[in-house]
């Protein structure tokens, strides 16, 4: 199983004992993976940040932070662990195993971080960076689909296409106070891309963003 894991990782350990420690849960009486997990958490965050910074040159800080959070979260790491069949390789106490420890997302996520730290200790930064880049290359298959509101979706699109940030303005409001209708416009790179109507300023902006995103995509 250890050989198969190394093949899946694309990395051959010079010191296999490091990998064994990375796979050892604290429920055993053996040296466990907690220290490696601590180190791996920091290594993973840095490497993913570095990759996203160079990959998404149009993203601002907020979009980069959100993408990183989605990639280094427990759920994503547990999905990655399953793809590596990491659960079968874990060493854990009988009690933990009987409660389904090999399938627990938190245990799997911690093990992924510990394994990455073990690679770093064994082979250095470049070695672990290459492994992380390879494992996270297909981001969309790892990250759970997330419903975005229309303004967030438009902002992500414009940043990815180096179009700057959309700006919104309420250009009209009609009707009595109990039944107001607002009209919002969205401007991208100095150009009005769309307008939208809604019973609140926020809903009008969301409708404008939806229409603007469709127009941007149609004009590609």
- Distance, in Å, from the CA atom of 146 to the CA atom of 66, rounded to the nearest integer, reads 11
176 and 138 within one domain: no
170 and 95 share one domain: no
pTM of the shown model:
0.68
Task: Give CA–CA dist 123/10, Å, rounded.
Answer: 13
Domain count, the chain: 2
**Mean pLDDT score, 141-149:** 60
- Both 82 and 110 in one domain: the answer is yes
- Which of 142, 162, 181 terminates a domain? The answer is 142
CATH of the domain at 93: 1.10.1520.10
Confidence of residue 87 (pLDDT cuts 50, 70, 90): very high
The order of strands in the sheet holding 191-198 is: 167-174, 181-188, 191-198
198 and 124 share one domain: no
* 113 given a catalytic annotation: yes
Q: Domain range holding 8?
A: 2-142
Catalytic residue (choose from 110, 113, 122, 185): 113
Query: Of the residues 142, 161, 177, which one is the last residue of a structural domain?
Result: 142
Q: Which of 32, 41, 156, 205 is flagged as catalytic?
A: 41
**Within this chain, do residues 129 and 43 fall inside the same structural domain, yes or no?**
yes
Question: How many percent of the chain have pLDDT more than 70?
Answer: 96
The per-residue pLDDT for range 45-73, each reduced to its tens digit, is 999 999 999 888 878 888 888 889 989 99
Q: Tell whether 104 and 182 lie within a shared domain.
A: no
Task: Clarify whether residues 88 and 134 are in a common domain.
Answer: yes
**Do 31 and 24 meet the contact criterion of CB atoms below 8 Å apart?**
yes
User: Are 90 and 181 within one domain?
Assistant: no
Q: Give the model's confidence band at 89: pLDDT under 50 very low, under 70 low, under 90 confident, else very high.
A: very high
Domain end among 90, 110, 142: 142
């Amino acid at each position: 199983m250890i050989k198969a894991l190394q093949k899946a990782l694309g990395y051959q350990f010079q010191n296999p004992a490091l990998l064994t420690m990375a796979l050892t849960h604290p429920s055993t009486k053996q040296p466990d993976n907690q220290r490696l997990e601590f180190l791996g958490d920091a290594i993973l965050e840095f490497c993913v940040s570095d990759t996203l910074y160079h990959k998404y040159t149009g993203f601002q800080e907020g979009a980069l932070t959100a993408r990183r959070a989605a990639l280094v979260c427990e759920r994503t790491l547990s999905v990655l662990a399953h793809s590596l069949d990491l659960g079968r390789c874990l060493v854990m106490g009988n009690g933990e195993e009987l409660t389904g420890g090999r399938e627990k997302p938190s245990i799997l996520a911690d093990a992924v971080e510990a394994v990455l730290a073990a690679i770093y200790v064994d082979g250095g930064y470049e070695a672990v960076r290459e492994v992380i880049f390879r494992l996270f290359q297909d981001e969309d298959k790892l990250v759970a689909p997330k419903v975005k509101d229309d303004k967030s979706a438009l902002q992500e699109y414009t940043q990815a296409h180096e179009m700057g940030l959309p700006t919104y303005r309420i250009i009209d409001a009609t009707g009595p106070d109990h039944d107001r209708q607002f009209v919002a416009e969205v401007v991208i790179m100095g150009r009005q891309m769309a307008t939208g109507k809604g019973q609140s300023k926020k809903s009008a902006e969301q409708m404008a963003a939806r229409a603007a995103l469709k127009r941007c995509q149609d004009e590609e």
